[in-house]
């Protein structure tokens, strides 16, 4: 329903978008994840023609709307912003404003607002001053405001960025509900990759003004296209190496003098990046491990950093590895900085991409 | 669309005002090219520009109710300095003028701006100053007093300061006339002759207050001086001499020069002012409050004032 | 000191006794200045909105000019309007000199720059997210401006009150255009001017106090509306 073709945007000397192409399917939730400043908001604004692209085109419902974006087209979309915008009036009037613009009769306005407020869980808030609401409530008002206009496409620009965890959960549930119950296509940006994963049917990872990778959450999180995507989706071990031998699907990779094994279709002498999640690394003091585990690397603990219920360990096993382990296991194994340790992981846990 | 038309109208209005303003600024004296039929004034309104001393003393407010009732008229009285009043008259903004500056009135009439001048009252200007009179002008002739003030002022005698209206009013015109009679050229000899000569550029009341604060001399009409007397330490030092004579006249703005001058009511007003009953009123006005009259009726005093008998008593027809 | 005390006493007496001439003058002052403010607002809001939300060459210069005109001397406005509506002027046929209508025009011109300028400031003060939200909700250009004006209404109201204050307190244009005609164009400021020149200091002060009282009431009303 929405096609983006090679969209670029230049602000002064800065290229914010450098050729964005994507296709959003009817009825899906598509999240754009990426670090702050990657161009997510700019892209959403261009789709709603709040900004005009420097080049490229937006095709909505089969029509190129880039140059002739009319109010009729815009009225088929709805947008919610990161910073909740509430008008200085009652909740009712806040939700009504889009309907008033469209000249909807007052009786329909009342009916639709009652329904929308029920959906967002703000029944009875009609006469409250919108400015007195909490951030989460304001964002729900904003959702109700676009919901009543019954858009084909809903654009959400980091809708939960400034909210407390309880409100975030409520808004996420609402987004899922709106998509499921009303079939509204949702294009949403977030810098929170886990949120992107939770909500999305598909994810686009935006890095430096382009989509580095578009795919299902599973594809993105298990098989990132490049080291930047890998880093952004939380893969902390990124190792440079070269394939030195190939035996069936099993590749032997030499990295900094250490030999590692991984499953890969790539051929010998290919320079590669290895992506390995810290959770996939098992630790032992004895060097014992399951036979299916190909990679067994002895090494030393360099640094221990507590993170939530886990400790992050930096290991020197010829290559630097980051592993996680619970506090309790840390104590039981007697791990401290300088401890001799053995790290092991399966060949299938390593994702190999050409560099 | 509605929005656009509102903006359009607003824009046109403002542009129109600006253009009109420039045109009028460049050629203020051009009379209306096209007579507009709707311009006829409401019959009951008469616009009068008057010198401040006739109004601020309360004389006109005292005289108007009877006239308004008799003629079913509404008098719109604008009180301004004689210079300003003459300007209003010249532009045709008023129907009748009441002023006190014979010389400029003569010019005004000669240029065809005014007709049917009648003298309605007179009084005397007074030279007032501090009780101590450091220049020593008490009881002298006005011309001599001004000569003394000039000499002492330029010599820097302490306490000798003269505050002038400096505002093109009738009183200021009189002051200039006295300087001339005393043998000085106002522009070269008097203005800028030193710190002793202060040009206030303001009304009579404010000038009196300023002279009082500075313990200075000034020339005042007797009416305003009496009205302010209670708040002042100034005393009259010179109050006689022909040159101090202050003659109040009224005249009609020439209806041939301007559209819609209310001639009939204007004539009635002038005739009302020179009528015996009003002349009698003028004679007694202010006696109760100030212990002396503020104005003397013109009736029968044409000789004293040096004007023609007709100017004092002949009704306007 | 005595004069000031006497002024307050006189003011109190005039107000308590509802002196008809004073009440009449005060009402005329309010009527003229409110009318002028009303019409100025009527022009200022659309003009300010269009300037704020249009991009054109010389926009900055125009805003600077408008802000400079905040300092427009009242006497200059009086003179300008006088030349315009005096019988010999281009609008002389309308006979507006020495009428309350003429005073309304003069005061309107006087406060128009303030109202336009402060409307622009008020509209600029509206959060950009609000502007984006309005656009994304499918507002037409007119609906957009109307909604932003509504959002900035309290700031604009403050501007209007300021404009009213300037209109009711000015004397230069009022005396030149109105002529201070008793019962017709005499307003509080011109009455103060006259009473001062007539030596009635206490009465002048009293009229001034009444003028300030009106300004106070208007301000209190604004504060009430804003806090509601």
Domain boundary among the residues B244, B262, B294 is at B244
Has residue B14 been placed in a domain? no
Indicate the pLDDT class of residue B317, thresholds 50, 70 and 90. confident
Has residue B21 been placed in a domain? no
Q: Return the closest-CA partner of residue B93 out of C87, C81, C102.
A: C87
Q: Which chain B residues touch C87 with a CB distance below 8 Å?
A: 32, 91-93, 258-260
Structural domains in chain A, sorted by start: 2-231 (3.40.50.300), 235-354 (2.40.50.100)
Say whether pLDDT at A36 is over 90: no
Structural domains in chain C, sorted by start: 2-7+20-227 (1.10.3720.10)
Has residue B2 been placed in a domain? no
- Lowest mean pLDDT across A65-69, B156-160, B218-222: A65-69
Residue A132: burial class (beta carbons within 10 Å; 0-12, 13-18, 19+): exposed
CA A116 vs CA A110, A314, A333, B90, B127: distances in Å:
10, 51, 55, 73, 87
**B224-253 mean pLDDT:** 90
Indicate the pLDDT class of residue A287, thresholds 50, 70 and 90. low
Which residue of B24, B55, B290 to mutate against C (max C Cβ within 10 Å)?
B24
Q: What is the signed CA dihedral for B133, B139, B142, B147, rounded to 10 degrees? A: -50
- Contact C90/B258, CB-based, under 8 Å? no
Radius of gyration of chain A (CA): 25
pLDDT of residue B262: 81
Say whether pLDDT at B3 is over 80: no
Question: Under a CB-based contact definition with an 8 Å cutoff, are residues A7 and A21 in contact?
Answer: yes
DSSP string of A227-263, one letter each residue: HHHHHHTT--EEEEEEEEEEETTEEEEEETTEEEEEE
pLDDT digits (tens, 9 = 90+) for B126-139: 999 999 999 999 99
- Contact C132/A79, CB-based, under 8 Å? yes
Say whether pLDDT at C193 is over 80: yes
Same domain as B89, residue B134: no
pLDDT digits (tens, 9 = 90+) for A108-119: 999 999 999 999
Same domain as B172, residue B137: yes
Phi and psi for B79 in degrees, rounded to 5? Answer: -95, 120
The ipTM value here is: 0.84
pLDDT of residue C1: 63
**B271-277 mean pLDDT:** 93
Going by their DSSP bridges, the two strands B45-51 and B114-129 should be labelled as unpaired
Collect all residues with Cβ–Cβ distance below 8 Å to C161 and sequence separation of at least 6. Answer: C218, C219, C222
Which residue of B8, B13, B21, B224 to mutate against C (max C Cβ within 10 Å)?
B21
Collect all residues with Cβ–Cβ distance below 8 Å to A7 and sequence separation of at least 6. Answer: A17, A19, A20, A21, A43, A46, A53, A55, A56, A57, A58
- Contact C140/A98, CB-based, under 8 Å? no
**B45-53 mean pLDDT:** 89
Domain boundary among the residues B244, B274, B290 is at B244
Domain count, chain B: 2
pLDDT of residue B26: 34
Has residue B15 been placed in a domain? no
Q: What is the domain-level CATH number for residue B106?
A: 3.40.190.10
- Contact C180/B79, CB-based, under 8 Å? yes
* DSSP SS3 for A16: strand
pLDDT digits (tens, 9 = 90+) for A319-330: 999 999 998 888
The kind and range of the H/E element at A193 are: helix A193-199
Handedness of CA B190, B193, B194, B200 (dihedral sign): positive
Please name the member of C47, C179, C198 whose beta carbon is closest to the beta carbon of B10: C47
Question: Under a CB-based contact definition with an 8 Å cutoff, are residues A327 and A309 in contact?
Answer: yes
Q: Hey, how many other C-beta atoms are within 10 angstroms of the C-beta on C85?
A: 26
Same domain as B203, residue B115: no
Q: Return the closest-CA partner of residue C13 out of C176, C209, C226.
A: C209
Question: Under a CB-based contact definition with an 8 Å cutoff, are residues B132 and B167 in contact?
Answer: no
Indicate the pLDDT class of residue B81, thresholds 50, 70 and 90. confident
**A198-220 mean pLDDT:** 93
Has residue B29 been placed in a domain? no
Indicate the pLDDT class of residue B312, thresholds 50, 70 and 90. confident
The kind and range of the H/E element at A58 are: strand A55-60
Q: Which residue has the higher pLDDT, A68 or B62?
A: B62
Same domain as B140, residue B116: no
The answer, for C53 touching chain B at a CB cutoff of 8 Å, is: no
pLDDT of residue A69: 65
Say whether pLDDT at C119 is over 50: yes
Same domain as B236, residue B207: yes
Highest mean pLDDT, choosing among A334-338, B83-87, C105-109: C105-109
Has residue B263 been placed in a domain? yes
> Which subunits have 3 or more CB–CB pairs within 8 Å of chain A?
C
DSSP string of B228-251, one letter each residue: HGGG---EEEE--SGGGEEEEEEE
Say whether pLDDT at A67 is over 80: no
Asked whether at least 3 C-beta pairs link B and A within 8 Å, the reply is no
Domain boundary among the residues B244, B274, B301 is at B244
pLDDT of residue B24: 35
pLDDT digits (tens, 9 = 90+) for B129-186: 999 999 999 999 999 999 999 999 998 888 899 999 988 788 999 999 999 999 999 9
Say whether pLDDT at B1 is over 90: no
Question: Under a CB-based contact definition with an 8 Å cutoff, are residues A345 and A281 in contact?
Answer: yes
Same domain as B167, residue B133: yes
Phi and psi for A316 in degrees, rounded to 5? Answer: -110, 100
Same domain as B256, residue B305: yes
Tell me A149's DSSP state.
T
Has residue B234 been placed in a domain? yes
**A186-211 mean pLDDT:** 92
Same domain as B228, residue B144: yes
pLDDT of residue A289: 66
Indicate the pLDDT class of residue B7, thresholds 50, 70 and 90. very low
pLDDT of residue B259: 77
pLDDT of residue B30: 34
**B75-93 mean pLDDT:** 89
- Lowest mean pLDDT across A52-66, C96-110, C117-131: A52-66
Instruction: Determine the Cα–Cα distance for residues A141 and A80; give it in Å rounded to an integer.
Output: 10
DSSP string of A268-289, one letter each residue: TT-EEEEEE-GGG-EEESS---
pLDDT digits (tens, 9 = 90+) for A120-159: 999 999 999 999 999 999 999 999 999 999 999 999 999 9
Same domain as B256, residue B278: yes
Say whether pLDDT at B15 is over 50: no
Tell me A153's DSSP state.
E
Phi and psi for A56 in degrees, rounded to 5? Answer: 95, 175
Q: Which chain C residues touch A87 with a CB distance below 8 Å?
A: 130, 147, 150-151
Same domain as B256, residue B237: no
The kind and range of the H/E element at A18 are: strand A14-24
Say whether pLDDT at A217 is over 80: yes
pLDDT of residue C15: 78
pLDDT of residue B34: 41
Collect all residues with Cβ–Cβ distance below 8 Å to B255 and sequence separation of at least 6. Answer: B115, B261, B263
Q: Return the closest-CA partner of residue C90 out of B257, B27, B13, B92.
A: B27
The kind and range of the H/E element at A19 are: strand A14-24
Mean residue pLDDT across chain C: 91
Has residue B26 been placed in a domain? no
The answer, for A135 touching chain C at a CB cutoff of 8 Å, is: no
Please name the member of B24, B47, B206 whose beta carbon is closest to the beta carbon of C98: B47
DSSP string of chain B, one letter each residue: -HHHHHHHHHHHHHHHHHHHHHHHHH-TTPPPSS--GGGPPPTTEEEEEEEHHHHHTTHHHHHHHHHHHHHT-EEEEEEE-HHHHHHHHHTT--SEEEE--HHHHHHHHHTTSEEEEEEEEEEEEEEEE-TT-TT--TTS-HHHHHHHHHHHHHHT-TT--EEE--SS-HHHHHHHHHHHHTT--IIIIITTS-TTEEE--S-HHHHHHHHHHHT-EEEEEHHHHHHHGGG---EEEE--SGGGEEEEEEEEE-TTTSTT--HHHHHHHHHHHTSHHHHHHHHHTTHHHHSS-S-EE-TT-HHHHT--HHHHHPPP-
pLDDT digits (tens, 9 = 90+) for A220-278: 988 898 888 998 888 889 999 999 999 888 999 999 889 999 999 999 999 999 999 99
Q: Hey, how many other C-beta atoms are within 10 angstroms of the C-beta on A90?
A: 15
Same domain as B194, residue B256: no
Q: Please report, rounded to a whole number, the percentage of residues in chain C having pLDDT higher than 90.
A: 66
CB pairs under 8 A between A and C: 56
Q: Which two tokens stand for residue A65?
A: 């709307």
Instruction: Determine the Cα–Cα distance for residues A160 and A164; give it in Å rounded to an integer.
Output: 8
- Contact C179/B259, CB-based, under 8 Å? no
3-class secondary structure per residue, A91-109: HHHHHHHHHHHCCCCHHHH
Indicate the pLDDT class of residue B39, thresholds 50, 70 and 90. very low
DSSP string of A292-353, one letter each residue: T--EEEEEEEEEEEEETTEEEEEEEESEEEEEEEEHHHHHHHT--TT-EEEEEE-GGG-EEE
- Contact C138/A98, CB-based, under 8 Å? yes
Print the domain residue range for B108: 43-123+245-313
Say whether pLDDT at C30 is over 50: yes
CA B16 vs CA B9, B36, B165, C56, C91: distances in Å:
10, 19, 38, 22, 11
Same domain as B249, residue B239: no
Say whether pLDDT at B41 is over 70: no
Write the Ramachandran bin of B306: left for phi over 0, alpha for psi from -120 to 50, otherwise beta. left
pLDDT of residue B16: 43
Instruction: Determine the Cα–Cα distance for residues B86 and B90; give it in Å rounded to an integer.
Output: 6
Q: Return the closest-CA partner of residue B7 out of C106, C82, C196, C49.
A: C49
């Amino acid at each position: 329903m929405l096609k983006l073709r090679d969209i670029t945007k230049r602000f002064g000397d800065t290229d914010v978008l450098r050729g964005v192409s994507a296709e959003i399917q009817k009825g899906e939730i598509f999240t754009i994840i990426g670090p702050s400043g990657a161009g997510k908001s700019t892209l959403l604004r261009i789709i709603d023609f709040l900004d005009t692209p420097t080049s490229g085109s937006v095709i909505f419902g089969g029509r190129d709307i880039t140059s002739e974006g009319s109010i009729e087209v815009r009225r088929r979309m709805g947008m919610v912003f990161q910073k909740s915008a509430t008008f200085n009036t009652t909740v009712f009037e806040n939700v009504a404003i889009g309907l008033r613009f469209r000249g909807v009769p007052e009786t329909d306005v009342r009916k639709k607002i009652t329904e929308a407020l029920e959906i967002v869980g703000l029944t009875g808030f009609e006469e409250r001053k919108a400015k007195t609401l909490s951030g989460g409530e304001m964002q729900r008002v904003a959702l109700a405001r676009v919901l009543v206009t019954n858009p084909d496409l809903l654009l959400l620009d980091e809708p939960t960025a400034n909210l407390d965890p309880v409100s975030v959960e409520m808004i996420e549930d609402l987004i899922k509900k709106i998509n499921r119950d009303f079939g509204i296509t949702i294009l949403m940006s977030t810098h929170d990759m886990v949120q992107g994963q939770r909500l999305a049917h598909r994810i686009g990872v935006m890095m430096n003004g382009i989509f580095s990778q578009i795919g299902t959450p599973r594809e993105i999180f298990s098989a990132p296209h490049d080291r930047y995507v890998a880093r952004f989706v939380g893969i902390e071990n990124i190792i440079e190496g070269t394939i030195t031998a190939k035996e069936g699907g099993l590749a032997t990779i030499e990295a900094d003098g250490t030999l590692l094994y991984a499953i890969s279709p790539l051929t010998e002498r290919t320079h590669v990046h290895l992506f390995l999640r810290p959770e996939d690394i098992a630790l032992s003091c004895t060097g014992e491990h399951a036979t299916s585990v190909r990679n067994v690397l002895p090494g030393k603990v360099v640094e221990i950093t507590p993170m939530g219920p886990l400790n992050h360990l930096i290991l020197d096993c010829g290559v630097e590895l980051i592993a996680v382990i619970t506090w309790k296991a840390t104590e039981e194994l007697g791990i401290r900085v300088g401890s001799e340790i053995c790290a092991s992981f399966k060949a299938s846990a390593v994702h190999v991409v050409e560099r | 669309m509605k929005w656009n038309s509102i903006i359009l109208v607003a824009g046109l209005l403002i542009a129109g005002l600006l253009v009109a303003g420039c045109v009028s600024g460049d050629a203020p004296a051009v009379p209306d090219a096209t007579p507009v039929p709707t311009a006829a004034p409401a019959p009951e309104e008469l616009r009068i520009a008057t010198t401040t001393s006739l109004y601020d003393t309360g004389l006109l407010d005292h005289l108007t109710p009877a006239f308004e009732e008799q003629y079913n008229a509404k008098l719109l009285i604008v009180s301004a300095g004689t210079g300003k009043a003459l300007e209003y008259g010249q532009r045709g903004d008023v129907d009748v003028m009441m002023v006190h500056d014979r010389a400029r009135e003569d010019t005004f009439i000669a240029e065809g701006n005014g007709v049917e001048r009648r003298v309605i009252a007179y009084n005397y200007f007074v030279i007032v100053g501090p009780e101590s009179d450091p220049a020593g002008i008490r009881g002298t002739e006005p011309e001599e007093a001004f000569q003394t003030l000039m000499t002492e002022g330029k010599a820097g005698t302490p306490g000798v300061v003269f505050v002038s209206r400096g505002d093109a009013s009738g009183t200021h015109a009189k002051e200039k006339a006295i300087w001339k009679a005393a043998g000085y050229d106002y522009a070269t000899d008097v203005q800028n002759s030193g710190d002793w000569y202060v040009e206030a550029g303001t009304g009579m009341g404010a000038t009196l207050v300023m002279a009082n604060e500075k313990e200075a001399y000034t020339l005042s009409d007797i009416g305003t001086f009496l009205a302010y007397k209670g708040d002042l330490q100034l005393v009259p030092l010179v109050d006689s001499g022909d040159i101090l004579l202050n003659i109040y006249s009224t005249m009609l703005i020439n209806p041939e020069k301007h559209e819609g001058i209310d001639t009939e009511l204007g004539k009635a007003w002038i005739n009302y002012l020179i009528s015996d009953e009003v002349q009698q009123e003028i004679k007694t006005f202010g006696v109760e409050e100030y212990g002396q009259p503020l104005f003397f009726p013109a009736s029968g005093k044409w000789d004293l004032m040096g004007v023609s008998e007709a100017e004092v008593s002949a009704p306007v027809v | 000191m005595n004069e000031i005390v006497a002024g307050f006493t006189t003011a109190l007496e005039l107000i308590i006794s509802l002196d008809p001439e004073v009440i009449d003058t005060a009402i005329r002052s309010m009527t003229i200045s409110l009318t002028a403010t009303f019409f100025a607002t009527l022009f200022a809001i659309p003009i300010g909105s269009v300037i704020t939300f249009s991009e054109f060459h010389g926009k900055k210069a125009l805003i600077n000019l408008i802000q400079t005109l905040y300092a427009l001397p009242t006497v200059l406005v009086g003179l300008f309007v006088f030349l315009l509506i005096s019988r010999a002027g281009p609008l002389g046929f309308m006979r507006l000199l020495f009428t309350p209508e003429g005073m309304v025009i003069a005061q309107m011109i006087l406060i128009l720059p303030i109202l336009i300028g402060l409307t622009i400031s008020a509209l600029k003060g509206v959060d950009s997210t609000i502007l984006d939200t309005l656009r994304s909700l499918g507002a037409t250009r007119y609906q957009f401006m109307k909604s932003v004006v509504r959002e900035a209404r309290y700031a604009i109201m403050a501007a209007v009150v300021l404009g009213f204050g300037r209109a009711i307190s000015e004397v230069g244009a009022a005396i030149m255009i109105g002529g201070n005609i008793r019962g017709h164009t005499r307003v509080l400021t011109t009455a103060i001017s006259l009473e001062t020149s007539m030596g009635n200091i206490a009465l002048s002060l009293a009229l001034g106090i009444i003028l300030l009282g009106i300004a106070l009431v208007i301000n209190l009303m604004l504060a009430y509306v804003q806090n509601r």
